[in-house]
Structure 1
Amino acid sequence: MFKIIVLVSGSGTNMLQLIKNDIKIDCIIADRECKAKNIADEYNIDFILLKRDKEISKNLLKIFEEKKPDLIVLAGFLSILDGEILEKYKNKIINIHPSLLPKYGGKGMYGLKVHQAVFENGDKESGCTVHYVTSDVDAGEIIGQDKVDISMAKSPEEIQKIVLEREWKLLPRVVKELIENNECDINEKRAEQLLRKYGFDFKNIDKNEIIELINKEINDFQEGSSEYIRLLCGYLYCLGDSSDIPLIEKAKYDINFDVGCMIDGEWIDSLENNGVEDEKKHIRTREEIIKAFVSYCKTYFNL
């Protein structure tokens, strides 16, 4: 399960957009009394209030080591993180900033102060940025950025409102992408582990174990696992017979479109007919199809 902790200092409107976009938050941590506590209570999310002092980064690190988050989201969090926490959770802490970084970033540039500077400079365009958090304030690698037209805005407050509404779209989109990328990485590692365990010595692969693993994936599907399921079904094709067709069909047609596209239909046809006729009327034997499967795996996983 992908665990997310959100750090807040205010009303928590960006955090609320994560919740409304079906992004599960495991814990909310605030550095001051704030309205975000009401959201935590409403959605029954664990809430922790910390003292806003020089020890906040150390105290957060203790919490992170206990809860082991996969991602930490700073959503209107005004305390500056420093020290060991940034090294231990490198590329796992992200922040949303209400400007088009690198413009209008750095210490002291937060909230309405950002929009005041944009307004005073007469900019016609502003926006928001999601970036990784580093020791240099607002200078980490940019993950996502959206622009908005502010040419009609008559005050910093109007700019703030326009930009905030775009933040509500950008932050959930970026977090979902990070979750999906993480799931894909995890499942590719699962596939690599499976290949290291079994290789292509099909005589020594336990077919019943492969069947059990396929059923487990069907019953407890994880997004991003299509390559792993393809590998399992490929193994079953290489080991199986016509009695295994229903399970391969179930994996192909009953999970989702992405998985269905990954599982070769010719595996099913081949098990039924002991070969497949191609466009040139050539009969691709089962041995040829197995050879193609092995070649694909070796190429895809750099074996």
Structure 2
Amino acid sequence: MIPHTVPPPSVVILASGRGRTFQALLDHSRRRREWEVTGLLVDRPSAPVVALARESGCPVHVVDPTDPDPVLRQLGPDLVLLAGYLRLVPASVTRAWAGRMLNVHPSLLPAFGGAGMYGMRVHQAVLAAGVRITGATVHQVNERFDEGAIVAQWPVAVAPGDTAETLASRVQMVERRLYPGVVDHAARGLREGRPVPDLFANSSFPAPGEHDLIPAPAGDPSQTDPREFP
């Protein structure tokens, strides 16, 4: 049991793009109240996510992507989340926030990860490879793109008629469920006083079984609303 006097852990989000993952995280945090988003860090002031954050009343900070650590230290969050952040986080920063910095990637890492593999590029590569299963991965962040320790994964089936866009819609649905759940888990660990290295030890996020597979839609995937799936 977590004492009511223990405040929810603070979270800072780094983003570069349109902000769909940022919005999902922010909405979840305000609904569940297990952790609090205290700021958005962006590498460019023109990023569309900035408008979303300001409309939501979330403070925005433009950082030097070669060294975001001064702003991170000023804000002092308990957890740092990457949400469509396209810059390589410097090694000095990943070391300073080791175990407390997470990212979500739209494939089952280590497949289809690494430099240049983001957004539609990932889904195009998945389709070109002809694989039948893809998914989403939440992982810790280190000094190399998509190579940090894997925390949780959720598989998504690839349909024969999928395009990068239809596949992306189902993977994004999974990301918006998996990522906040992992953050909930970490936040509870912090509130219980668990040491940072143990936040994901014996995690409650085992590899999903067959019943957790997000299925390929029947018929034409382009005509399928991903909200039809669990």
Matched, 1:5 2:18: no
Q: Bigger radius of gyration, 1 or 2? A: 1
Write the mapping of 1:1-303 to structure 2, written as runs, cut at 5 A.
1=7, 2-21=9-28, 22=30, 23-32=35-44, 33-51=46-64, 56-58=65-67, 60-185=68-193
Greater fraction of residues in helix: 1
Measured in 2, the distance between the counterparts of 1:107 and 1:17 equals: 25
Superposition misfits of 4+ residues, deviation over 3 angstroms: none
Q: Which TM-score applies when normalising by structure 2?
A: 0.75
Aligned residues: 182
Structure with the larger RCO, 1 or 2 (CA within 8 Å, 6+ apart): 2
- Whether the 8 Å contact between 1:133 and 1:139 is mirrored in structure 2 is yes
Q: Which amino acid aligns with 1:9?
A: S
Q: Within 2, Cα distance between the matches of 1:4 and 1:126?
A: 28
Query: What TM-score, normalized to structure 1?
Result: 0.58
2:52 is matched by which residue type in structure 1?
I
State whether residues 123 and 151 of structure 1, in contact with CA within 8 Å, keep that contact through their aligned partners in structure 2: no
CA deviation string 1:160-189 (max 9, x = no partner)? 1111111111111111111011111269xx
Q: CA deviation at 1:127?
A: 0.4
User: Deviation per CA, 1:246-297, whole angstroms, max 9, x where unpaired?
Assistant: xxxxxxxxxxxxxxxxxxxxxxxxxxxxxxxxxxxxxxxxxxxxxxxxxxxx
d(CA) in 1 for partners of 2:139, 2:58: 25
Distance in 2 separating the partners of 1:177 and 1:153: 36
1:49 Cα shift? 2.1
**Cα RMSD after superposing both structures:** 1.6
Gaps of 5+ in 1: 188-303
Structure 1 153/161 Cα, relative in aligned 2: closer, same or farther at 3 Å?
Answer: farther
Quick one: distance in 1 between partners of 2:194 and 2:112? 36
2:85 maps to amino acid: F
Q: What amino acid sits opposite 2:111 in the alignment? A: K
Q: In structure 2, what is the Cα distance between the partners aligned to 1:153 and 1:175?
A: 34
Contact 1:118–1:126 at 8 Å: present in 2 too?
yes
Instruction: Spell out, residue by residue over 1:194-248, the C-alpha distance to the aligned partner (whole angstroms, 9 max, x if none).
Output: xxxxxxxxxxxxxxxxxxxxxxxxxxxxxxxxxxxxxxxxxxxxxxxxxxxxxxx
Q: Give the superposition deviation at 1:15.
A: 1.3
**Residue type of the alignment partner of 2:21:** N
Kindly, what percent of the aligned residue pairs are identical? 29
